[in-house]
Amino acid sequence: MANRNNCVAFDPSLESSGLGPNVEILDEDGSIVLPELWEKMFEIMEKIEKESYEDLKGFDGSLDQYFRLKLDECIGAGELNDLSEDLREKLFDWHHRFENIIDAADDWSQTGGWGHTEYWLCPGDPLVVWNDGYETLFRLLLEEIPADKRPSSISTLPGLHFNKPVHKIEYSPGDSMPVKLSLDDGTSQSFNSVVFTGSLGVLKANGRNIFSPALPIKKQNAIEYLDLGTVDKIFLEFEDCWWPKDLGGFGFLRSDTEKFSPDKHAKDWIRDILGFYTVRKNPNMLVGWIFGAAARSMEILPEEQVLEDCYQCLKKYLGTRYTIPKPTKIIRSTWYSNPYTRGSYSYRTVLADKNQVWAKDLAEPIVDQGGFPILMFAGEATHDHFYSTVHGAVESGWREAERLIGAIR
């Protein structure tokens, strides 16, 4: 289950995105962009973002087209006269990369404007840190179970089996046990009803081989036209904190805004990185954000190479002002390379908008002749409004549990 920020519902506002006064924006030569310049640009972008939730309803273009159109209007009105064209384009490109990390698209020309409005922000703090990992979430959910029936840990949940990959799901609505799961170990088991929670990436990569018979055309269209992108994080640990302790991080501008191509620029994946930012409760650590084709290229490199590339990037942007030690440790996510995720989280595409494909099409169950759901679908990509988030994934699981309970009653 991979989700937006892999544990976070990303609020696009300046404050929660880390673009406050304690963040530095730097050009490729290491020069600091004056805060009054980049703050003005991002205030404009935030204003466009807020207006988009009304403007984009029914809009048949991409997020790229909309933002460019609105930015040109602001330029024409003289709202960005203090910025040179060169700096304006670099900041616009940075916002493009930032938006791709929010949406998980390779390029915001792929993100549907209309579908973009279907995403809802969740009330409350958008940044939630699970100190002990995701098991914390499950422990909270288990509190609903009476103490005398509660397992001591997730691994002792009754009926839960680990390391049992499913390679085939056969369904036959007319049978008494209509769904058969075939496992990689050669065993199989039949059930009255099954909830499939595999990611949209898994469905895209292997859905035609998993299900027999093939899924209905409507669901196949949802799998094809909705998309699951790649967003990765790279954590760098240092012996000491060499940056000011009150600093929130560094955002990196770039001159070459050509779209990354692994065929042409395989060694230049690092140029798509958004920047490096501080990590809560880890004072000697920075985290870098990377997306799309560049992230997929990063995932297949040796960790030593990724560490070296990040180190050289930090020296390029910050070496004239800081003495930067080499990181002592690296931890990176590899969401696309993982065969059980094949990406990070889902987004609405231009093609999904044009073909009127929605999350509900992916969520629609397969039922028997009496309307009983025999094959159901959950996961963040099936949520109408909280797609790409953990809370969306959890709610989709509740939705299918309630669907099944209602059918049994």
Instruction: Indicate whether 130 belongs to any domain.
Output: no
Q: Residue 181 falls within a domain, yes or no?
A: yes
247 and 121 in a common domain: yes
357 within domain boundaries: no
- Helices in 177-216 by DSSP H: which ranges? 200-210
Please tell me whether residues 60 and 207 are part of one structural domain. no
Enclosing domain of residue 175 = 139-228+363-408
pTM reported for the whole predicted model = 0.90
Given pLDDT bands bounded at 50, 70 and 90, which one contains residue 7?
very low
Q: Decide which of 323 and 133 is more confident.
A: 323
Looking at residue 350, its pLDDT comes to 96
Per the domain annotation, does 6 fall within a domain? no
Reported as type and span, the H/E element at residue 81 is none
d(CA 204, CA 295): 19
Domain at 121, CATH number:
3.90.660.10
Q: What are phi and psi of 274, to 5 degrees?
A: -75, -35
Q: What is the pLDDT of residues 27-47, one digit of tens each?
A: 999 999 999 999 999 999 999
The answer on 36 and 156 residing in a single domain is no
Dihedral over Cα of 10, 12, 13, 17: its sign = positive
pLDDT at 266: 58
- pLDDT tens-digit map of 237-251: 999 999 999 999 999
- The total domain count for the chain is 2
Could you tell me if 120 and 38 lie in one domain?
yes
**H or E element at residue 93:** helix 85-103
Tell me, yes or no, whether 354 lies in a domain.
Answer: no
pLDDT reported for residue 260: 67
Report pLDDT digits (tens) over 104-147.
999 999 999 998 899 998 887 766 777 777 778 877 877 877 88
Same domain, 372 and 257: no
Whether residue 281 is found in the same domain as residue 302: yes
| Same domain for 201 and 66 | no
Residue with tokens 């990689």: 184
Coil, helix or strand at residue 310? helix
